Structure 1
């Protein structure tokens, strides 16, 4: 199906291993995720992904067709997403022009529904733990599907949060309680969603460095503009350039407000995904006033930890008030 894993058919590379495009005998296109032999953590993540995704099905979650374990070869077979991942659009100066506000709002809504399903609507309670732009895939119509469940955690009936000594995820999307204390819950996914939402609205990565110590990340920049009542400076120019209508402006303002509520420092202050979906659909009209986002105060001590999940170095920063 993949022409013996021909390099020309390689779609990308994740912490798990390479992903290839394939075609079955019935002409169905597939994506084949191949476990890298060099991936020490890969087998555990492979088995975890099979366990999690085989139990769930939703239009905003990528569909698993099957898996193969034979000798040293381990593969997952997924539906093929022709538009690859969200980051290849929203952060690309040319491709982002395709994403007008209606498409962006549809993507935000779809991701929120997929997360709500994981947290509340499936038979299980699942925390994704690595939600980010590169883990949201886009189909032919640019509908979003959450992917990469290698780090996901299934919670038992009454279990609401858990601790881990091995922090996995991606810097810039991790909530403070998870990055610093290893404590995760559905509210840590909510934090990641808030970061992703603000990235979609602005077309900027959270880890972009701004040349000003008052806002050394996207969250700090958003907070500054929010307090100056200048949120339109945040919005991607691609969205603003066409003559904006009143409905779009209300939705954009609402999304920025929701994003700030999701990235608040304390987990208890953040809304649930159920509330987020209701707020996006205007079923809730009175929003709380957001408190200062996490990671936006002056950094005092910086130390590096190895993030084995995404094969990156992660910088964690301890913060103190001014």
Structure 2
């Protein structure tokens, strides 16, 4: 006996037509949930509808602009726009490398905001495991601070840099779920041609709960940015107060244009910070008092006395208003 199917627009008693109709509905539901996959997407196993798959042939590589422990970064052209392409080290091929690439990409997608480097897409082709990101022409904050005359680093400009940097961290801390960057230093903030700041290198980030179960970020960033409670092993619980200390060092760099603990060995830094309870001074008399106070509060040896990033952003906004 034939079965009647009706949805107000479609009605039939033909079993084959019913089957085709149900398959068509299932396909539409799948498309809504996962996005329509192209043949290229299927070959590269697109992880989600939010991650755009980019073929290596769509990228025109220009020059090497950076190199690190886990990969190299190139300037390239994608859709006639300059992009930065991070190529992961090909020590291990296959599923593990692709999984790590996708994990970093998914984290970057969570932080989609004005002061976080934008992700355009990924490539997971064999021998081409790539992150395609926003291109920041002036490299990193540390490079800019090393050339104050070239960039005309007025106090207004430096305060804006500090605010934009803090805003990037604040966005990460308020992602869904909330995350911690775990690798804050002046080299992790990238700078565009208009000297606007965006935070990058989010691959080490973890949720707050996960970060608390891990040791401090001493292996993720240089020792000079590590909070004293982690240096002296009083606490291994990494929190947003740990990040406030690291960012206090970055703000000190912005205020002084100097490198932190320049010339000191790791053991000398530990002794200076932990045993002598010292902070490097801000010697410029033109530094706004409230900015200097904020930097010192962030570098306080007692993590409970350090401000949250919401307060850091609000304070920097208030200071910058006086320079408009």
TM-score by shorter chain over 0.5: yes
Tell me the distance in 2 between the aligned counterparts of 1:160 and 1:81: 29
SS of 2:238 mapped into structure 1: strand
C-alpha change, 1:278 and 1:209, in structure 2 (3 Å) is same
The residue number in structure 2 matching 1:310 is none
Q: Check if 1:30 corresponds to 2:83.
A: yes
Partner residue in 2 for 1:17: 71
1:275 alignment counterpart: 311
Gaps of 5+ in 1: 226-230, 241-248, 284-322
2:224 partner SS: coil
Q: 1:107 aligns with which of 148, 161, 184?
A: 161
Secondary structure class of the residue paired with 2:318? coil
Shift of 1:198: 0.3
Query: Contact between 2:261 and 2:280, CA under 8 Å: does it hold in 1?
Result: no
Q: 1:126, 1:154 within 8 Å by CA — same for their partners in 2?
A: yes
Superposition RMSD in Å: 3.3
Post-superposition shift, 1:175?
A: 1.5
Structure 1 residue 22 displacement after superposition: 0.4
8 Å contact from structure 2 (residues 211, 237) kept in 1: no
1:173 aligns with 2:225: yes
Query: Which residue number corresponds to residue 131 of structure 1?
Result: 184
1:57 corresponding residue in structure 2: 112
Q: Counterparts in 2 of 1:49-198, with a 5 A limit?
A: 49-92=104-147, 94-95=149-150, 97-120=151-174, 122-155=175-208, 161-164=212-215, 167-179=219-231, 180=233, 181-198=235-252
Is the alpha carbon distance of 1:48 and 1:253 closer, same or farther for their aligned partners in structure 2, counting shifts above 3 Å?
A: farther
User: 1:22 & 1:134 partners in 2: Cα distance?
Assistant: 21
Task: Provide the aligned length of Structure 1 versus Structure 2.
Answer: 254
- Whole-angstrom CA distance in 1 between matches of 2:247 and 2:81: 32
Compared CA separation, residues 133 and 165, structure 1 to 2 (3 A): closer
Residues 224 and 174 of structure 1, relative CA distance in 2, 3 Å threshold: closer
| Greater relative contact order (CA < 8 Å, ≥ 6 in sequence) | 1
- Cα distance in structure 1, aligned partners of 2:262 and 2:92: 29
Distance 1:271 1:124 in 2: 21
- 1:282 is paired with a residue whose SS is helix
More helix by share: 2
Preserved contact between residue 163 and residue 184 of structure 1 (Cα < 8 Å): yes
Aligned-partner Cα distance in 1 for 2:183–2:293: 23
Aligned to 2:297: 261
- The gaps in structure 2 that reach 5 residues or longer are 1-57, 320-324
Shift in Å, 1:209: 2.7
- Residues 1:209 and 2:263 are matched in the alignment: yes
Label 1:59 to 1:184 Cα distance change in 2 as closer, same or farther (>3 A).
Answer: same
Provide the TM-score with structure 1 as the length reference.
0.69
Larger Rg: 2
Runs of 4+ in 1 over 6 A off after TM superposition: 39-44, 213-222
